[in-house]
Amino acid sequence: MNLSQAFRDPELARGLISSIKQVVADYSGQMTLMEVCGTHTMAIYQHGIRALLPEQVRLISGPGCPVCVTPVGYVDHAIALARKSEVIITTFGDMVRVPGSSSSLLREQARGATVKVVYSPLDALAIAAKNPEKRVIFLGVGFETTTPTIAGAILQASLKGIDNFLVLTSHKTIPEPMAVLTSNPELQVDGYLCPAHVSAIIGADAYLPLAEQHRVPCVVTGFEPIDVLRGTLMLARQLVRGECRVENEYSRVVRPEGNQKARELLYKIFEPCDASWRGIGVIPGSGLRIREAFARFDAARQLDVEVEEPVEHQGCLCGEILKGKVRPHDCPLFRTVCTPEDPVGACMVSSEGTCAAEYKYGG
């Protein structure tokens, strides 16, 4: 059996939708559920799930697209490094098109910088091994799913003595912004569809403080349509019953305790720090930086460059969209000057950004 297909079965989807309708039938008012992860946002748009839900259930997108929440100053820093002749920038694809204050990596590439898109940080490490006269910088952007893979590459670099491999980090962790958004009285998030693969690393139990202290139901949810509908059903049922629990819809992958081995690797190389989130600001303890013992792999500490003063783009509502406060259609730039071909804000660049998903799949 192909599992991905089984979790896309239209008949099961129809049954789950009518179950959701049945559960919320007598619910007065509206429940606002936030899908935290960008991969959920994409799945929800791609499968048209919003339009299938009863009017009592409202899904909003959260801050879980790593490219989208990366502040413009980081992009400017990467651009400044790309301009150095001895540097090769290596990155996951989405970052190359994110506008900085006055340029982008794609534009720098057109001007002669070397920017290579890779599938894995291990590919970046291989490029470093092949180009010992260059400094190969990987753009370390991502949440708890991705950061252990970068820790793995740094550990390999250390073991193999590949000292021209560097990482410019902007890693972030997910539970902290969820707590911040929960405490924001303007938002009123009634329940969280918690990320699938971040939770594979941190474990379903990582959301217990949110459920127990902040009194918000949390359901770890997979990325297939049946998963999203089941997760929504579980949240709706908790809200109707007045419960605040952590449930795990994605138990075929996520364990309550998560993947301890991956976390050991992650924390061997990285340590918590404060981090700046586009649209939210600085959240204490929500970032990860390279430990002093591995500082020789930290591009920010090893290479001195002048970075321009960051300028946010006028009129772009990315920040408000990332908090779930406004929808892409509320932004005056959406579909007019900001399009996937010529994006103004990061939410339009990344394929899992809310604006890009709305542009591609929205009505």
Binding site for other proteins (CB under 8 A): 1, 3-4, 6-7, 12, 15-16, 19, 22-23, 37-39, 64-67, 92, 94, 119-123, 141-143, 145-146, 148-149, 152, 155, 195-198, 200-201, 223, 226, 230, 233, 237, 251-254, 259, 261-262, 265, 350, 352
Separation of alpha carbons 71 and 73, rounded Å: 5
Of 250 and 334, which CB lies nearer to other proteins in the complex structure?
250
Q: What values do phi and psi take at 210, rounded to 5?
A: -65, -45
User: For the chain, how many helices (H) and strands (E)?
Assistant: 18, 11
Of 197 and 313, which CB lies nearer to other proteins in the complex structure?
197
Token representation of residue 24:
């919320």
Of 84 and 245, which CB lies nearer to other proteins in the complex structure?
245
Of 68 and 79, which CB lies nearer to other proteins in the complex structure?
68
Give the SS3 label for residue 339: coil
Separation of alpha carbons 267 and 250, rounded Å: 25
Task: Say which amino acid occupies 147.
Answer: T
CB of 232 to other proteins, least distance (A): 12
CB of 84 to other proteins, least distance (A): 26
Of 7 and 359, which CB lies nearer to other proteins in the complex structure?
7
Separation of alpha carbons 221 and 227, rounded Å: 6
CB of 337 to other proteins, least distance (A): 26
Place of tokens 């929504």: 232
Task: Say which amino acid occupies 33.
Answer: L
CB of 361 to other proteins, least distance (A): 17
The sign of the torsion formed by the CA atoms of 152, 155, 161, 167 equals positive
CB of 83 to other proteins, least distance (A): 25
CB of 180 to other proteins, least distance (A): 20
For 87, 88, 223, 326, the CA distances from 112, given in Å and listed in that order, are 11, 11, 39, 39
Token representation of residue 275:
């981090």
Picking from 149, 140, 152, 170, the residue whose alpha carbon sits closest to that of residue 286 is 170
Of 198 and 280, which CB lies nearer to other proteins in the complex structure?
198
CB of 19 to other proteins, least distance (A): 4
Of 197 and 214, which CB lies nearer to other proteins in the complex structure?
197
